Amino acid sequence: MPEKKTAAKKKAKKQTLVIVESPAKAKTIEKYLGPGYTVRASMGHLIDLPKSRLAVNVENNFQPEYITVRGRAKLLKELQKEAKKADEVLLASDNDREGEAIAYHLRSAFADKVKAPIHRIVFNEITPQAILEAVKSPSDIDEAKVNAQKARRVLDRLVGYNLSPLLWKKVKNGLSAGRVQSVALKLICEREKEVENFIPEEYWTLDADFMKGKSKFTAQLVQYDGKKPALSNEKSVNDIIAEIKNAKCVISDIKDTDKSVKPKPPFTTSKLQQAAANRLGFTSKKTMQVAQQLYEGVNIGSNRVGLITYMRTDSVRISPVAIEEVRKFIGENYPKELPAEPIEYSVGKKAQDAHEAIRPTYVTYTPDYVKEFLTRDQLRLYSIIWERFVSSQMINAKNRTTSVDIQAGSALFRLSATKVVEKGFYRAIKILSSKEDKGVSLPSLSVGENLEPLKFYPEQHFTQGPARYTDASIVKMLEEKGIGRPSTYAPIISVLLDRYYVNRSNKQLVPTPLGRMICDILVESFPEVINENFTAEVEDNLDKIEDDKLDWTKMMGDFFFGFKDRVDELMGSLESYKGMMDEKTDKVCELCGKPMVKKLGRFGFFLACSGFPECRNTRSIPLAKCPRPGCNGEIVARKTKSRGKEFYGCTNYPECDFISHFKPINATCPKCGQFLVEKYTKKHGTIKSCINPECDYLHTSEDEGADAEGADE
């Protein structure tokens, strides 16, 4: 009997514990690995710096004082218990600095309790092949990468935990400041100043309808007396019309110009966020959440599949295997669009190139094939990733632009139409380039033909100032300036919104009064820290630490002591801004009768009783008088209970159920006297429209007090 037990023990299969970061990923990987493997999730960091104190020993080479994250001790013990039963432990957290740190801390937590060997595995995609190859080739933890994460974490802690108390003392309790977020806030505030300081200039354009036979088409004035027309006012346009309205109109030139259009490289994180914002209307945060779902795995029929490669990357590199697969797919489905050789894209100088570009794991899983298994948002994001990758390995497209010049006296009008003459990579694209296939058709025309002028259309415009940042444009700017990394773009925006330093209005990022005040204080007090160059330099140094070319403690020492001296100096010398945002009002507290004061809180302005703390009454700021006949209520901002979406309702609710989804502004309608609301349309941008449904008043940024008919919903 003992001999049989020994034989049975020898036949017992090796048990391996694999620890990943998320449960969804664990579920997918466990299915791929099969018997003998247990896959568990750490749910991110289990060991980190405490939130309640600095926890960095400045006197001891800036060593961090890590603790088990509050509420995560139970999970850590469960993982330790699983690890004790295993014959091998594989740490499979994400292949980036944060993932390396998670693996490092888990190994440290297991060291005295687990006898099994502990190794690190990494992969760029969650496919059976990638996972099995990773398991076959375990490695050690990259200590240099851990040091880079440690340096970033400690530096941000030193900055945040020194700046925040300064803001508490000088501005308001509860405020906070971060190294990278403050620079992003600076960019947004600087753009807002440009928007406010911009002075629009009037200019006019002139279009004209021409007729040939039964065909009518419109051309635009492009030259007058051989020069580009300077139409600064209505008189200058009318003078030209008066001169040419009876002139002979002749086609003076017809020119075809062909342009070769190259496909774009597959997505990096920043480019994906930009495309998703512009094409799908996604915020950066939403883009990364949906991409995470696609990466970790979704059920395609009876199979669970990781549909895309790792979504945090700054590289456009593609693996040779993926190149071979996509070229085979193109050859079978778009044979005429297959180039003779694979197309290579250059990796940017600042790219870490740790991962491939974002691409589908299986190119044969087309958007049409997977659409029944995905949510709407998953399908839309997957579609643009798939399209971008497949089209990146196809031949160029060719566009042909036909320009028709029409001479009318001293005026030259031009009509241009572009059409696709060789589709090339456009064949793989539906969402990313929705207009390429829609050419303007022209009637048959020839040089020397006479045309009949029908009508002139002078139109007044005003030059448009710089646009406020959106999620897409701020991410683009952060990337260009070397601020942050692929993993931080979305969190940077989220933090600014959560702190109420920035609001999102019509997809634009607008600094709040609180955000502008914080920005002014930080930039004026710490110009050497709150600037793009310092932040980019930090990123470069972190890369050097990861490459084992710089000691992280030296980086801390070079920065900290001068910074801390400046903080201590300002603690005594900086004037206090407390109370400066409070504003007296004519409103009276309905509870105690004392005047109400307009205050700035974390989530915006509100009214508070001046009798605080004896009276703690607060209420929302009234924005307008209720337009309902006989109602004496006021319109205030409210939020829905389910999603927290802002709307505007009457203070007399439920007696008065007036609701508007558009924000009232401090202006009355010149036609009917009711209040105006601010709307956003694709045609006009931001407009002011009357709240009265029976009034047609509309004011756009191009109007100078003029009325227009109808509101563009």
Is 707 a domain residue? no
Is 1 a domain residue? no
282: pLDDT strictly greater than 60: yes
704: pLDDT strictly greater than 50: no
Is 308 a domain residue? yes
What is the per-residue pLDDT for 602? 62
Closest C-alpha to 365, from 303, 316, 321: 303
- Find the distance separating the first CA and the last CA of the chain, reported in whole Å: 84
φ/ψ (deg, to 5) at 166: -65, -40
Tell me: do 382 and 304 sit in the same domain.
yes
Tell me: do 73 and 100 sit in the same domain.
yes
Q: Which of 121, 141, 161 is the last residue of a domain?
A: 141
Q: Give mean pLDDT, residues 417-421.
A: 91
Q: What is the CATH number for 402?
A: 2.70.20.10
Q: Which of 539, 554, 573 is the last residue of a domain?
A: 573
* Range from 299-308, 548-557, 700-709 carrying the lowest mean pLDDT: 700-709
**CA atoms of 149 and 97, how far apart (whole Å):** 5
Q: 400 by DSSP, 3-state: which?
A: strand
**CA atoms of 705 and 334, how far apart (whole Å):** 55
Is 708 a domain residue? no
Tell me: do 284 and 311 sit in the same domain.
yes
Q: Are 497 and 146 within 8 A, CB to CB?
A: no
**In which domain, by residue range, is 536 found?**
149-198+468-573
Tell me: do 587 and 673 sit in the same domain.
yes
Tell me: do 357 and 439 sit in the same domain.
no
Q: How confident is the model at residue 713 (pLDDT cuts 50, 70, 90)?
A: very low
Tell me: do 22 and 127 sit in the same domain.
yes
Is 42 a domain residue? yes
Tell me: do 563 and 600 sit in the same domain.
no
712: pLDDT strictly greater than 60: no
Q: Which of 407, 431, 462 is the last residue of a domain?
A: 462
Q: What is the CATH number for 319?
A: 1.10.290.10
Q: Give mean pLDDT, residues 187-200.
A: 92
92: pLDDT strictly greater than 60: yes
Torsion of CA 28, 30, 35, 38, to 10 degrees: -170
Each residue's pLDDT tens digit, 485-507: 888 999 999 999 988 899 888 88
Q: 361 by DSSP, 3-state: which?
A: coil
Which whole-number Å values give the CA distances from 707 to 673, 687, 701, 711, in the listed order?
Answer: 14, 12, 12, 11
Known active-site residue 310: yes
Is 162 a domain residue? yes
Tell me: do 551 and 587 sit in the same domain.
no
What is the per-residue pLDDT for 355? 80
Is 551 a domain residue? yes
Q: 354 by DSSP, 3-state: which?
A: coil
Q: Are 294 and 267 within 8 A, CB to CB?
A: no
Tell me: do 367 and 222 sit in the same domain.
no
Tell me: do 93 and 33 sit in the same domain.
yes
What is the per-residue pLDDT for 348? 67
Count of structural domains, the chain? 5
Q: What is the CATH number for 128?
A: 3.40.50.140
Tell me: do 123 and 68 sit in the same domain.
yes
Candidates 310, 362, 469, 501; catalytic one: 310
What is the per-residue pLDDT for 700? 53
Each residue's pLDDT tens digit, 327-351: 999 999 999 999 999 999 987 666 5
Q: Give mean pLDDT, residues 508-517.
A: 91
Is 711 a domain residue? no
Tell me: do 424 and 407 sit in the same domain.
yes
